[in-house]
Structure 1
Amino acid sequence: MNQFFRHVDTVTDPYANLHARPISYNHFTTSTTSSSSSASSDLEASIAAVERILNYSFRNKCLLEEALTHSSYSDSTSYQRLEFVGDAALGLALTNHVFLAYPELDPGLLSLIRAANISTEKLARVAINHRLFQFVRHNAIGLEDKVREFAKVVSQEDDPVSYGGSMKAPKVLADIVESVAAAVYVDVNFDLSKLWVQQPQPVTVLFEFCQKQGKHVDIKHWKKGLTNVASVYVDGSFIASGSSEQKDIAKLNAARGALHKLLQSMPVDVNPFGIEGINGSFEIDGAKQKLHELCGKKKWLKPIYELEKDEGRPHEKIFVSSVKIPTVDGALYITGDEKSRVKEAENSAASFMIRALQESGYL
């Protein structure tokens, strides 16, 4: 249905899909008393915006209206009932996922994975990542200040957080995610498969990738003390290995390592799309996040960014980034423009990739 509730298929780093992008703090607006026509227009705009974020159009838009209404906004039904449903729906979705994805894990570890992926801290970062709070109707004094402060902290984090960040997440942010999830869940007639979209297993991608290249894959397992080790061989040659106390996790880690190594060693066509004039001035706001979402929708692995150029004196740095997307048909690759910051260079590369994907018919 959408990329909003997508889960990254990993145990060693179960939070990899929640890299929150920096946001503009003046996006937060307080609900105030206004004319009915103006309020109605604002609500319709908010519903349309959230539908674009979800990549889903509601049949019953009243559900989304309710999901975006805080209990302090007394003129309409609040999201509290939906939040109750969303909490259960996301919990069940995670339960189904980890049960099917990791058949050899014991219940204790499965519970830890599930809890980490539906914690208040993690769901709050989903809300920040997708800028959901700006669409919430409320009359709670001080609520925006708390969310704004938390958003600033999240924008400065280097790594994803699921527990115990430097600032406690405002519960309202997790509530919003749960209520919006519930709105979708109810709107699709309680069909969990339409709420939850999984990324492809690295092992599956590895086998499909090698099959396309006419290569044979073999994954061998052995133990080193209490540690399980998985080794990937392609056409009889060792490629990569992974280890863990759990056999399934070792296999996943080995597959990821093998995919990365195989893609790095592949000859790269600097213009695989055959598009002329691709290096014109072109920029998409938030392109890196948009490309991440597109890859999830296409069931591709996450984009890989690398610095191709890092030159200049400390205060006159010039960076050029490339982005590579692993697919079963090979790696898609393109570079961006020169920029003065690494993040801007990566966004430029992502912008060119999105443009190339559109113009070459991939999207």
Structure 2
Amino acid sequence: MPSHEELQKRLGVDIDPETLRLALTHRSYAYEQGGVPTNERLEFLGDSVLGFSVTDHLYRNYPDLPEGDLAKRRSAVVSTRALAGIARTLGLGEFILLGQGEILTRGSDKSSILADTMEAVIGAAYLSHGVETARRLVMRLVDPLLAEVDVLGAGTDWKTAIQEIAAARKLGSIDYLIHGSGPDHARRFEATLTIGGTPYGSGRGPSKKEAEQEAAAASWKLLHGTGAGSDAAAAR
């Protein structure tokens, strides 16, 4: 496992070592170690810091957007999917302390665990340095997402979003072709979304649900002309 110093370098902020270790302690590991503290309280704290930071940014930078649109953008940026994507970019999974059961089932790549730990790390930064440093960390992490907020604005449930656009354009029925690989304790899934029998986007993940969401997101971008192969999609 890489050192915590490497993680802090990736984050761009120094966090008290004990607090950082706590932020990385999943409940499965804590249980196996006889009930040591978990990162769940830090997750609770980090969720509030994250939500406030993003809300403040959206309020100040989008003065003409109504409350509903602001809420939609915030939900997209702070969603489990978005946070897990940030965590994967940081390589956060390799630092998380997990129990043996979660290790065997690739818990370090589960979106729920990654997102929760990301919030805990934000909480740890807040405890170590206060709200301003934590806010700056949040904004560094979410800036790439805010840059594509029009795409994220489809919402966090990409399967619903793709159903709506397919119905509006009368493209036909939606199906997901699923292929699984790997041993039972480390299965990986690939999903390809088809609309009216025509293949669109594909996605991968540790579960069928996540692979389908990724495929739906890729298809949504194709249909809106923002993804690779969008010209081909538009010609269909």
Calculate the TM-score normalised by the size of structure 1: 0.35
Note the 1:24-63 alignment, pairs <5 A: 45-58=2-15, 60-63=16-19
Which residue number in structure 1 is paired with residue 224 of structure 2?
none
Query: Is residue 195 of structure 1 aligned with residue 106 of structure 2?
Result: no
- Return the offset for 1:116: 0.2
Which residue number in structure 2 is paired with residue 206 of structure 1?
none
Which residue number in structure 2 is paired with residue 109 of structure 1?
69
Summarize deviations over 1:215-242 as a string: whole Å, max 9, x none. Answer: xxxxxxxxxxxxxxxxxxxxxxxxxxxx
Which residue number in structure 2 is paired with residue 67 of structure 1?
23
Query: Is residue 84 of structure 1 aligned with residue 44 of structure 2?
Result: yes
Which one has a larger percent helix, Structure 1 or Structure 2? Answer: 2
Which residue number in structure 2 is paired with residue 127 of structure 1?
87
Code of the residue aligned with 1:145 in structure 2: it is: T
- Return the offset for 1:144: 5.1
* RCO comparison, higher one (Cα < 8 Å, 6+): 2
- In 2, Cα distance between the equivalents of 1:170 and 1:130? 14
Structure 1 residues 111 and 143, CA, compared in 2 at 3 Å: closer, same or farther? farther
Which residue number in structure 1 is paired with residue 60 of structure 2?
100
- Return the offset for 1:138: 1.4
Summarize deviations over 1:129-183 as a string: whole Å, max 9, x none. Answer: 11111111111414553457xx6xxxxxxxxxxxxxxxxx531010111011111
- Return the offset for 1:194: 3.8
Structure 2: runs of 5+ lacking an equivalent: 144-236
- Return the offset for 1:127: 1.2
State which structure, 1 or 2, has the greater radius of gyration over its C-alpha atoms: 1
Which residue number in structure 2 is paired with residue 325 of structure 1?
none
Which residue number in structure 2 is paired with residue 170 of structure 1?
111
- Return the offset for 1:196: 3.7
8 A Cα contact 2:42 2:119, kept in partner: yes
3-state SS of the aligned residue for 2:28? coil
Code of the residue aligned with 1:183 in structure 2: it is: A
Aligned-residue identity in percent: 30
3-state SS of the aligned residue for 1:125? helix
Calculate the TM-score normalised by the size of structure 2: 0.53
8 A Cα contact 2:26 2:96, kept in partner: yes
Structure 1 stretches of at least 4 aligned residues deviating more than 3 Å after TM superposition: 142-148, 192-199
- In 2, Cα distance between the equivalents of 1:68 and 1:80? 10
Structure 1: runs of 5+ lacking an equivalent: 1-41, 152-168, 200-363
